[in-house]
Amino acid sequence: MFEYAPAPESRSVVDIKPSYGLFVDGTFVDPADGGSFKSINPASEEVLSEIAEGGAQDVDRAVRAARKAYDKVWGPMPGRDRAKYLYRIARIVQERSRELAVLETLDNGKPIKESRDVDLPLVAAHFFYYAGWADKLGHAGFGPAPKPLGVAAQVIPWNFPLLMLAWKIAPALAAGNTVVLKPAETTPLTALLFAEICQQADLPAGVVNIVTGAGDTGRALVEHPGVDKVAFTGSTEVGRAIARAVAGSRKKLTLELGGKAANIVFDDAPVDQAVEGIVNGIFFNQGHVCCAGSRLLVQESVAETVLESLKRRMAQLRVGDPLDKNTDVGAINSAAQLARIKELSDAGAAEGAQRWSPPCELPERGFWFAPTIFTGVTQAHRIAREEIFGPVLSVLTFRTPAEAVEKANNTPYGLSAGIWTEKGSRILWTADRLRAGVVWANTFNKFDPTSPFGGYKESGYGREGGRHGLEAYLNV
Amino acid sequence: MTATATSARSDLSELGRSETALRAFLHGLPGVDQVGAEQRAAQLGTRSIKTTAKAQAIDLAIRMVDLTTLEGADTPGKVRALAAKALRPDPADPSCPHVGAVCVYPSMVPYAAEVLRGSAGSGRPSDGPGPTNGAAPAGPGGVHLASVATAFPSGQAPLEVKLADTRAAVEAGADEIDMVINRGAFLAGRYGEVYDEIVAIKEACGGADAGRQGRPRAHLKVILETGELATYDNVRRVSWLAMLAGGDFIKTSTGKVPVAATLPVTLVMLEAVRDFRTATGRQVGVKPAGGIRTTKDAIKYLVMVNETVGPDWLDPDWFRFGASSLLNDLLMQRTKLKTGVYAGPDYFTLD
């Protein structure tokens, strides 16, 4: 046997402070009521740092700082000068990418391979991309001189902490807004390191404010009357609450919510690559991906072959220490999320679907869930309808292209979908009929700052990325 | 594997009898998505192989090297030196394993045999059952003697010439024949012709006196010359064609065209041998050749073998590297791992 020796990335490249304050008006400050919470490493349950919990008063301070910066500095600043700051941030992110990647992996539990090769390059790419737009807004298709909205309140999830921050902050700043961002309570550390990067880049005080905390902090932020724009990425349930909260106000809202994407494999698909795509679709980032291909729809005539290959491939997945460069599947982000994954997969087994996982040893400490597939799943099963947000794949079969489309669309969500076939005309036929914001053909989970991303139906509204992503931050 | 191949399990040997059946089968294989295959190969290339795993991989890679010289300028002296190196790659370290084989032109086989077996043409094992491995039993030193044949590298010669070339190499003492396929015929869609030629060469691998003396036949490596086939779909088809016709190994390249072995091409071939074994029960070896020069590259290939076809292929009987300069880099890295410091190039023999 060829056993790979441990190849851990050194964690000494990043300096984690024992505690962090809130980043308001260019400096770190203590919260008004002194509350705090702990951020832990989900792979070991070790406490990484003590984080300030922002209350209503802190949110108010941050929004005021953002307003002042918008009125006095960032709003009036010419686009070319805003671009300079964004380019500078992008370069610093690249220079400090190893540090950021290790920190992301420690706080989130995702494999270093992914934070290093996917998250961080995309973060830098988003800043570079929107830096380029800052002085060209008149050419974005929203009129000759589109104006920013003002202060943007942004609430982001824990699955791609720094990348979601980049998706939110880069277009907002490029368009001339200032921001108050609340990272998720389980993964605040890279956002706080990003705050240090803003200082390093000499970004004017108050342009970016980071207020850490949990749901109450987020609620205070989106409900604050001084906010002109709310952007949220997270669960559909919270998204609904936010939509209700801002209803009837002048606040503009974009939501990027849950998904239950269908990954459709036709009988003429390139089998080996389709299997890679299925694995990437559902096990990438432990399945903590809103656009994960969590429903595999495979044509009945090739179902057996595809499943055999899939199981063989899953047996090669290396689950374990996220800092090991050879790890493919890391830790589940939190105990709460692990409990939800367990609950739904137990429901799947109880409802009669067949459960399968490759033999794999899970570490004792930390939150872990083995890559799992369910076969014999029908549209009536909970695991075919509800978002699991974990490394759990539900396999359904279909007989005809029309049935595939019907099943794929038979969900309240509509964020993404995948099509696997060697036939170009079938790709176009299917993509035309799928109600999903992103449709990948013969690939999955491909992201690029130039390409808009967003959902249909209960997966949200508004687009992030590309020229379209600017619209959410412009007064159009 | 495809449903086609699984259901046709017992019939695969019959495919070669009909051009139509062969064509239908090869065109019925699932396609290869170029972007996906290249992405997977690149992903496997990011594995980090360190310390004990690296030491293990380097020794395995050394044992898998087909130490090759295929130059117009080859002389008996050059070939003898190469064969000596094959037996003792690192004269300073007796714990260093020998390589898998020496690979030379047919006219050079006797000189290599002298060194590998003591004397030309007589050192092959004459007893024991027929081999079931991808590789035939080696000489006393454990190093196989491979020879290219069939009008290498172009393959553009009449069949009779190719057969004579093969028989001569086997007679001279080669226990492995690296043949080139007729790419012209393959690209023109004359699959039956390619198939028949491989079958004929395989037959000739028994030598002029095939069947007599109970000698094991030489093992047949089929060079696909993937650099001239252009698409991964073609690589998968021709891999199946070579295996159906009886090839013991499938090999990427001659090393004589601009594009030689690449990771994605090897990935497609590994998937083919894996699926072929599932369909037929017969295991076929894989040999990437040309352009693999560094330990880092070699380890990427081993990782790919490990994660695509598994430990069954992690053996010199089932996986080889066609290379020349690779060996010295492996030796250099091996010494570095053992001593902690790099020795200069002059500490490694140039043959």
Q: What are the DSSP calls for A319-351, one per residue?
A: BS-TTBTT-SB---S-HHHHHHHHHHHHHHHHT
CB-based contacts of B88, cutoff 8 Å, min separation 6: B94, B96, B98
B32 CB neighbour count, 10 Å cutoff: 25
Considering only CB atoms, which chain A residues are within 8 Å of B307? 316
For domain A11-257+456-471, give the CATH number. Answer: 3.40.605.10
Q: How far apart are CA A265 and CA A287, in angstroms?
A: 19
Q: How far is A303 from A390, CA to CA, in rounded Å?
A: 23
Closest CB to B311 among A1, A7, A277: A1
> Is-contact B252 B290, C-beta < 8 A?
yes
Q: Which residues of B touch A316 (CB under 8 A)?
A: 307
Best of A2, A3, A311, A326 to substitute, by most chain B Cβ atoms within 10 angstroms, is: A2
Contacts of A326 in chain B (CB under 8 A): 47-48
Between A60 and B209, name the one with better pLDDT.
A60
Specify the pLDDT at position B126.
35
pLDDT of residue B134: 61
Place of tokens 């918008």: A70
Distance from the B216 Cα atom to the nearest Cα atom in chain A, whole angstroms: 30
Residue from the list B36, B49, B57 with its beta carbon closest to the beta carbon of A273: B36
Q: 3-state DSSP helix/strand/coil percent for chain B, to nearest 5?
A: 50, 10, 40
Cα distance between residue A440 and residue A445, in whole Å: 8
| Residue at token pair 């699926």 | B275
> A60: which 2 tokens?
């108010």
A-to-B residue pairs, Cβ atoms closer than 8 angstroms: 75
**Is A262-441 CATH 3.40.309.10?**
yes
Residue A401 has pLDDT above 80, yes or no: yes
β-partners of residue A38 are A50
* Omega prior to B153 cis, within 30 of 0: yes
Low pLDDT (below 70) residues in chain B:
1-11, 118-139, 207-215
The mean pLDDT of A376-385, rounded to a whole number, is 96
DSSP string covering B99-153, please?
Answer: -SEEEE-GGGHHHHHHHHHSSTTT-S---SPPP-SSS----TTS-EEEEEESSTT
Q: Poorest-confidence range of A250-259, A337-346, B10-19, B42-51?
A: B10-19
- Please report the pLDDT score of residue B213 as a whole number: 55
The encoded tokens of residue B318 equal 């089932």
B3 backbone dihedrals φ, ψ, rounded to 5°: -60, -35
pLDDT attached to residue B141: 78
Block residue for tokens 């490694």:
B348
Distance from CA of B111 to the nearest CA of A (A): 36
Using DSSP bridges, classify how beta strands A252-256 and A229-233 pair: parallel, antiparallel or unpaired: parallel
C-beta neighbour count of A379 within 10 angstroms: 13
Tokens coding B310: 């598994």
| pLDDT value of residue B137 | 64
Are residues A2 and B56, on separate chains, in Cβ contact within 8 Å?
Answer: yes
Say whether A47 sits in a helix, a strand or coil. Answer: strand
Subunit contact A272:B36, Cβ cutoff 8 A: yes
Interface of A with B (CB under 8 A): 1-7, 113, 117, 268-274, 276-277, 301-302, 304-305, 316, 325-326, 422, 442-443
Helix (H/G/I), strand (E/B), else coil: B332: helix
Burial B302-316 (b: 16+ CB within 10 A, else e): bbbbbbbbbeebbbb
CB A369 within 8 A of CB A391: yes
- Burial (CB count <10 Å: 0-12, 13-18, 19+), residue A135: middle
Question: Distance from A277 to chain B by nearest Cα, in Å?
Answer: 8
Q: Flag if A5 and B50 touch (Cβ within 8 Å).
A: yes
The residue in chain B having the minimum alpha-carbon distance to the alpha carbon of residue A324 is B48
Do residue B32 and residue A272 have CB atoms under 8 angstroms apart? yes
Q: Which residues fall within 8 angstroms of residue A264, CB to CB, at 6 or more apart?
A: A297, A298, A398, A404, A408, A417, A418, A419, A420, A430
At the second CATH level, the architecture of B22-339 is Alpha-Beta Barrel (3.20)
Do residue A442 and residue B36 have CB atoms under 8 angstroms apart?
yes
Partners of B36 on chain A (C-beta within 8 Å) are: 270, 272-274, 276-277, 442-443
CA distance A143 to chain B (A): 38
Question: Which residues in chain B touch residue A274, judged by CB atoms under 8 angstroms apart?
Answer: 33, 36
**Residue B271 with chain A: CB contacts under 8 Å:** 272
* Cross-chain Cβ contact A273/B57 below 8 Å: no
Q: Which chain A residue has its CA at the smallest distance from B31's CA?
A: A270
Q: If you ran DSSP here, which 8-state letter would residue B319 be given?
A: B
The catalytic residue positions of A are 256
String of DSSP letters for A207-270: SEEE---SHHHHHHHHH-TT-SEEEEES-HHHHHHHHHHHTTSS-EEEEE-----EEEE-TTS-
CA distance A293 to A444: 8
Q: Is B54 a catalytic residue?
A: no
- Radius of gyration for the alpha carbons in chain A, expressed in angstroms and rounded: 22
For an interface test with B, the pick among A1, A4, A113, A316 (most B C-beta atoms closer than 10 Å) comes out as: A4
Dihedrals phi, psi of A190, to nearest 5 degrees: -70, -30
- All residues of chain A having their beta carbon less than 8 Å from the beta carbon of residue B1 are 305
As given in the structure block, the two tokens for residue A351 are 């409802």
> Of B46, B48, B50, B273, which to mutate for an interface test with A (greatest number of A Cβ within 10 Å)?
B48
**Residue entry with tokens 């505690």:** A19
Q: Three-state DSSP class for A50? A: strand
CA A281 to chain centre: 14
Q: Report the DSSP beta bridge partners of residue A354.
A: A375
ipTM rounded to 2 decimals:
0.94
**Tokens 């040999």 — which residue?**
B287
Q: What is the pLDDT of residues A124-176, one digit of tens each?
A: 999 999 999 999 999 999 999 999 999 999 999 999 999 999 999 999 999 99
**3-class DSSP assignment, residue B270:** helix
pLDDT of A208 higher than 50 = yes
Question: Once rounded to an integer, what is the mean pLDDT over residues A198-205?
Answer: 98
**Percentage with pLDDT > 90 across chain A:** 99
| pLDDT mean over A185-196 | 98
Average pLDDT over residues A376-386: 96
Contact A222, A155 (CB under 8 A): yes
- Is B251 assigned a catalytic role? yes
The SS3 call for residue A374 is strand
Looking only at the bridges linking them, the beta strands covering A229-233 and A295-299 are unpaired
Q: Is A363 helix (H, G, I), strand (E, B) or coil?
A: coil
Contacts of A113 in chain B (CB under 8 A): 46
Q: State whether B3 and A302 contact (CB < 8 Å).
A: yes
Considering only the beta carbons, identify the residue of A5, A270, A442 that sits closest to B53: A5
- Tell me how far apart the alpha carbons of residues B264 and A74 are, in angstroms, rounded to a whole number: 49
Domain residue ranges of chain B, discontinuous segments joined by +: 22-339
What pTM, to 2 d.p., does this model score? Answer: 0.94
Chain B: give the shortest CA distance to residue A311, in Å: 13
**B212 vs A362 pLDDT, higher one:** A362
* Euclidean distance between CA atoms B235 and A272, whole angstroms: 14
Closest CA to B330 of B301, B303, B300, B294: B294
Using a CB–CB cut-off of 8 Å, the residues of B that contact A are 1-3, 6, 30-33, 35-37, 39-40, 46-54, 56-57, 60, 271, 302-303, 306-307, 311, 314
The mean of the pLDDT values for chain A is 97
Find the closest chain A residue to B27 by CA distance.
Answer: A268
Does the beta-carbon distance from B32 to A273 stay under 8 Å? yes
DSSP character at residue A456 = S
Q: How confident is the model at residue A350 (pLDDT cuts 50, 70, 90)?
A: very high
- A97-108 helix and A189-200 helix, angle to the nearest 10 degrees: 160
- What are the DSSP calls for A104-157, one per residue? HHHHH---HHHIIIIIHHHHHHHHHHHHHHTT-GGGTTS-SSPPB-SEEEEE--
How far is residue A418's CA from residue B188's CA, in Å, rounded to a whole number?
35
Q: What is the pLDDT of residue B209?
A: 56
Chain A residues near residue B240 by CB distance under 8 angstroms: none
CA distances for A191 relative to A56, A87, A182, angstroms: 20, 18, 9
Chain A residues with CB inside 8 Å of B272's CB?
none
Q: What is the C-alpha separation between A222 and B163, in angstroms, rounded? A: 81
Query: Nearest C-alpha of chain A: how many angstroms from B31?
Result: 5
Mark whether B178 is an active-site residue. yes
Question: Judging by DSSP bridges, how do beta strands B144-149 and B176-180 pair with one another?
Answer: parallel
Q: Does the beta-carbon distance from A325 to B47 stay under 8 Å?
A: yes
**DSSP code string of A175-209:** HT-EEEEE--TT--HHHHHHHHHHHHTTPPTTSEE
Cross-chain Cβ contact A273/B46 below 8 Å: no
Within 8 A of B50 by CB-CB distance, chain A residues are: 5-7
